[in-house]
């Protein structure tokens, strides 16, 4: 599962995309919802956890935490930006 990163999320991870394993070879629980994905990512990148307001898009649509994700979905993390 590939995740596109924007704004401060891109800066935190240090790359514009991020790959999340979709099989359980790593022994970690595989995220099945948007909320689980957030928890999964904040395990690897604790800085992401600090973002109190972060939009997640699944297949180009805003998604709430309870929404189910699949390995073929295109996911984007879009934290708010403030510059002007």
Partner 1 sequence: MDHRYTRQTQLKDFGPEGQQKLANSKVLVVGLGGLGLPVLQYLNAMGVGTLGLMDQDVVELHNLQRQVLYTEKDLGRLKLEVAHETLQSQNSTTHFKLHDTFLTRENALETIKQYDLVVDATDNFPTRYLINDACVILDKPFVYGALHGFEGHVSVFNYKNGPTYRCLYPNMPRPEEVPNCNENGVLGVVPGIIGTLQALEAVKLLTGVGEVLSGKLLLFDGLAQQFSKIGFKRNPLHSKVEALQDSYDPLDCSTVATITAEDFQSILGEDTMLLDVRTPDEFNENHLKEAINVPMDQLMVPKPVKSEKIYVICQSGQRSETAAVQLQKQYPDSTFISVLGGMNKMMTLIFP
The footprint of partner 1 (CB under 8 A) covers 4, 6-8, 10-11, 16, 50-53, 55, 57, 60-62, 76, 78-84
Give yes or no for a contact between 79 and 51, defined as CB atoms under 8 angstroms apart: yes
Q: Which is nearer to partner 1, 7 or 21 (CB)?
A: 7
Number of neighbouring beta carbons within 10 Å of residue 11 = 12
Question: Least separation, in Å, of the C-beta of 71 and partner 1?
Answer: 20
74 token code pair: 């295109």
Residue 30 or 78 with smaller CB distance to partner 1: 78
Cβ 5 to partner 1 shortest distance, Å: 10
Which of 78, 73, 79, 80 has its CA nearest to residue 31? Answer: 73
């Amino acid at each position: 599962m590939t995740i596109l990163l924007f704004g401060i999320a891109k800066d935190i991870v240090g790359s514009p995309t991020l790959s999340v394993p979709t099989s359980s070879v790593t022994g970690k629980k595989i995220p099945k919802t948007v909320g689980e994905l957030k928890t999964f990512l904040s395990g690897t990148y604790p800085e992401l956890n600090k973002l109190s307001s972060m939009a997640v898009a699944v297949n180009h649509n805003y998604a709430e935490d309870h929404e189910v994700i699949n390995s073929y979905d295109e996911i984007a993390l879009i934290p708010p930006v403030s510059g002007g």
